[in-house]
Structure 1
């Protein structure tokens, strides 16, 4: 995640990708509504252990998304959420403790919903790299396998392998797809691929340069690697009208601090282009799309995208953080639950025009 004290997520519009391999794509800025009154503090509890302030790099200028006229709050209070959704999270048994994101049914549902967010943001496009007739494809860190299944249906002549730490993928799959339990940070033993896909692994990988190097050595000459990551720090478009949501700020700063402490940084997305170039990929290309974190946008497309993103973010406040705050930062479960509930309340407050930058970066193995 990039460093910032005032992250702000907002609805997004993506500009046409540049021809140059070193130029980031432009993005659209959302138009904010009339100034809103800042919400009063709802924490009302003893402060949890402090986390270091994070100052993110400035994102590329993008056009603003026009905001809709909306009520400040929609939905019921986050404090009324079912407590069973907050406790008893299941984690990976394979190499237990290495990956701090749960793999239970709640998280699987969130991952599938997140796949829909990607589809909406990319207009249904599964691949950005200019691949032609791929023969062997690897979906590294496949999760529930939903992207791999869609890709296998779209490319029936290709053979796809989806690998993950957890065997949570469905049994009924296309005949040209197989899943395997594997650790991407081990030495790879696959035959070369024509295309490798990586998505949403920020905070999970210890050594990104090694991962990208292994992927390069397991590509056929001319093959492509594509990495898709959200910048974990949220940003706000209407910061001149309302202060950044305080509990979301505390949550993302804690994630950043915990990730750095265990050597699994969330600060990955804005660095992908440089990392691929340094690893030896050629024709490196980057695209950035702004994704609103709630349905505050006026235009129908961004409002729908923001609605789905909001729902997956409501679960993400628990998935991304419970283990990080309690195991790494020393918070109590009660302290984390209070912060998580406050974050969800802020995500439902449409006065906050927050957005997340979604990065796509791909490069090619030299011929």
Structure 2
């Protein structure tokens, strides 16, 4: 079967909120969602608001920050294989997992296995890099670039990667996804 995947790569965080959220083209059929990195629950609330009846949401997060919502079931996101639920989903949404996931090959293989045939994985990932369009501002970025280097070195010491956005498409194809759109 063909499992499509939507991939949003290398967008700047300031621009990410301007883009349309939840890109899946099969809105009317989704009702079992799995969300990674729930955080404040803004994506969760938006997904519930867009669907009637409300979807059944399972959220995976690093900390107990997730919202208290009737249709939401929370699980802790930890380890290399966060797919502890023996269930298939219509949509799996993951956002900003750089520095969280150790084994991306395993993560995407598990995501592929936990999707119903023909359903969607949506990933929003940003790289931690600072840019400027103004050459005069380049000198102001020196301290930020030093901090950036230190963050990457610290993450590498615990076998984590921060800048993973550029590799996501290749990893998804390797896991078995057949249509990866950016």
TM-score normalised over the length of structure 1: 0.43
2:67 alignment partner in structure 1: 170
Distance (Å, rounded) in 2 between the aligned partners of 1:212 and 1:272:
9
2:119 alignment partner in structure 1: 223
Deviation at 1:117, TM superposition (A): 6.3
Deviation at 1:260, TM superposition (A): 1.8
Distance (Å, rounded) in 2 between the aligned partners of 1:145 and 1:242:
35
1:283 alignment partner in structure 2: 179
Distance (Å, rounded) in 1 between the aligned partners of 2:35 and 2:138:
40
Deviation at 1:154, TM superposition (A): 1.4
1:265 alignment partner in structure 2: 161
Quickly say closer, same or farther: Cα 1:232–1:191, change in 2 above 3 A.
same
- 1:5-35 per-position Cα deviation (integer Å, ceiling 9, x unaligned): xxxxxxxxxxxxxxxx9xx99xxxxxxxxxx
CA RMSD of aligned residues (A): 2.5
SS in 2 for 1:246: helix
1:154 alignment partner in structure 2: 50
Deviation at 1:162, TM superposition (A): 1.3
Quickly say closer, same or farther: Cα 1:118–1:178, change in 2 above 3 A.
farther
Q: Of the candidates 118, 122, 127, which is equivalent to residue 22 of structure 2?
A: 127
Quickly say closer, same or farther: Cα 1:285–1:226, change in 2 above 3 A.
same
Deviation at 1:130, TM superposition (A): 2.2
1:211 alignment partner in structure 2: 107
Mind listing any 5+ residue stretches in structure 1 that lack a counterpart? 1-20, 26-58, 60-113, 287-367
Mind listing any 5+ residue stretches in structure 2 that lack a counterpart? none
Larger relative strand fraction: 2
- The question of 1:181 aligning with 2:76 is answered yes
Distance (Å, rounded) in 2 between the aligned partners of 1:242 and 1:126:
31
Deviation at 1:136, TM superposition (A): 0.5
Quickly say closer, same or farther: Cα 1:182–1:255, change in 2 above 3 A.
closer
Computing the radius of gyration from Cα coordinates, the structure with the larger value is 1
Distance (Å, rounded) in 1 between the aligned partners of 2:156 and 2:172:
21
Deviation at 1:242, TM superposition (A): 4.2
Quickly say closer, same or farther: Cα 1:177–1:155, change in 2 above 3 A.
farther
SS in 1 for 2:23: coil
TM-score normalised over the length of structure 2: 0.82
Distance (Å, rounded) in 1 between the aligned partners of 2:56 and 2:88:
12
SS in 2 for 1:161: strand
Check whether the contact 2:62–2:76 (CA below 8 A) recurs between aligned residues: yes
Deviation at 1:279, TM superposition (A): 1.2
1:274 alignment partner in structure 2: 170
2:138 alignment partner in structure 1: 243
Deviation at 1:159, TM superposition (A): 1.3
